[in-house]
Amino acid sequence: MELFKSWIKEDGPRLRGSRDLDSSKLQSPCIVRLPSGGYRLFYTAIGPAKPYLDCQGYILSAASKDGLTFEKEPGIRLAPQPKIPHMSLRVISPSVAACSDGRWRMYFESRGPADVPAVICSAISSDMLHWELEAGIRLQAPGGVGGVRYLALPDGRGRVYCFESVYGPGGPSRGPRNSQRIVSAISSDGIHFEKEPGDRVLDQRSEYDSAGITTAEVIPPTNTGGDWTMFLSAWQLPESGAAVPIHPSQDVEAVANGRSADFAAASIAADMSGFRSRIFVSHSTDGLTWGPLELVLEGEGYGGEGPDAVHAEDMSLIETAPGRYRMYYAACDALGVWCVASAVNRVS
């Protein structure tokens, strides 16, 4: 569909780190239209005001009347829980959906220690500001799942699309057949999900997705028909001999080997060690079988200009007018500074 192949980047970030809750790193946006008008943007962040020492990220929010200028809202929307193993360190990649009873449900990726696979959990809210964690796990897999996006289906059910990690014999770090694929699961009540057979999108290990595919957001056909459209982000492995830039925190240990007492510093050092991420589109006639990936949004690369020079990923889309969409996405510039950027599709 030509409608989604050409995107115009909008000037300036929509959100950047500016307070003790998000000054170290922010990413994984999720845009929601407010019933009263305007928008709320949820995002994952970390900063010196984290609620406990080992915390690696939580979900915050910001509100906007026009979708361009956002005012950050005080407090944390959802934080990890140290006493829950699979949620003890980090919550990331929120996806918010309206419930039939007028409340809202947030699905999110939940992480604990490295030996505990990432899972998808949920929380419920009546105002989108105060969230109550729901018991149990919505979706899990031996290698871990994440990057969740929820889609309400016309028949009243819901489908989540997410990535699933599949490890070879060597485990997460050394397996020769490690890969990530997009899978889906279906639910009638928003709580109990049944994984659908097969893979939605396989990691092809091509030039652009050599380090795996992550978040996948789907736009269903309109009432008049047409294709299903999936946007997804993919990571590229460092090229041989890629130079590692100076990390903005000047954390020598993080720059040297990616290890640091500061999780954000170590994370950004890894992000900036030659990896790239970009955003792609794919199409389907049924929402289950998807065609080839087409590149739709990327930055200039290391040494380039713009907030998304090195990374563009974890997109969240909203229709602002018939056929007109704004894409919010996590972006990282050539200095390792993350923000939320935006782009709009070109319409003729």
In this structure, is residue 264 part of a structural domain?
Answer: no
How far is it, in rounded angstroms, from Cα 44 to Cα 339? Answer: 11
Higher local confidence (pLDDT), 212 or 17: 17
Q: Please choose, from the candidates 328, 175, 338, the residue with its C-alpha nearest in 3D space to the C-alpha of residue 272.
A: 338
Distances (CA, A) of 288 to 20, 42, 220, 284, 314: 42, 27, 11, 7, 20
- Say yes or no to pLDDT of 175 above 50: no
pLDDT tens digit sequence for 32-47: 999 999 999 999 999 9
Mean pLDDT computed over 338-347: 95
In this structure, is residue 260 part of a structural domain?
Answer: no
How far is it, in rounded angstroms, from Cα 165 to Cα 212? Answer: 9
Q: Please choose, from the candidates 139, 32, 159, the residue with its C-alpha nearest in 3D space to the C-alpha of residue 94.
A: 32
In this structure, is residue 296 part of a structural domain?
Answer: yes
- Say yes or no to pLDDT of 3 above 80: no
Number of domains in the chain: 1
Residue the block writes with tokens 């500061």: 262
Question: How would you list the strands of the sheet with 25-33, edge to edge?
Answer: 25-33, 39-46, 58-64, 71-72
Phi, psi (5° rounding) for residue 215?
-55, 140
In a 13 Å sphere around the CA of 42, the CA atoms on its Cβ side amount to 27
Contact 71, 18 (CB under 8 A): no
In this structure, is residue 265 part of a structural domain?
Answer: no
In this structure, is residue 308 part of a structural domain?
Answer: yes
- Say yes or no to pLDDT of 333 above 80: yes
pLDDT tens digit sequence for 224-275: 678 999 999 999 988 766 555 545 555 555 545 545 568 888 888 889 888 9
In this structure, is residue 297 part of a structural domain?
Answer: yes
> Residue 347, Cβ neighbours under 10 Å: how many?
12
pLDDT tens digit sequence for 214-237: 899 999 998 767 899 999 999 998
In this structure, is residue 84 part of a structural domain?
Answer: yes
In this structure, is residue 333 part of a structural domain?
Answer: yes
How far is it, in rounded angstroms, from Cα 298 to Cα 277? Answer: 8
Helix/strand/coil for 73: coil
Task: Give the pLDDT of residue 245.
Answer: 54
Question: Strand pairing of 71-72 and 90-98?
Answer: unpaired
List the domain range (segments joined by +) for residue 318.
Answer: 2-237+275-345
Among 130-144, 176-190, 210-224, 255-269, the range with the most confident prediction by mean pLDDT is 130-144
Domain of 193: which CATH number? Answer: 2.115.10.20
Task: Give the pLDDT of residue 44.
Answer: 98
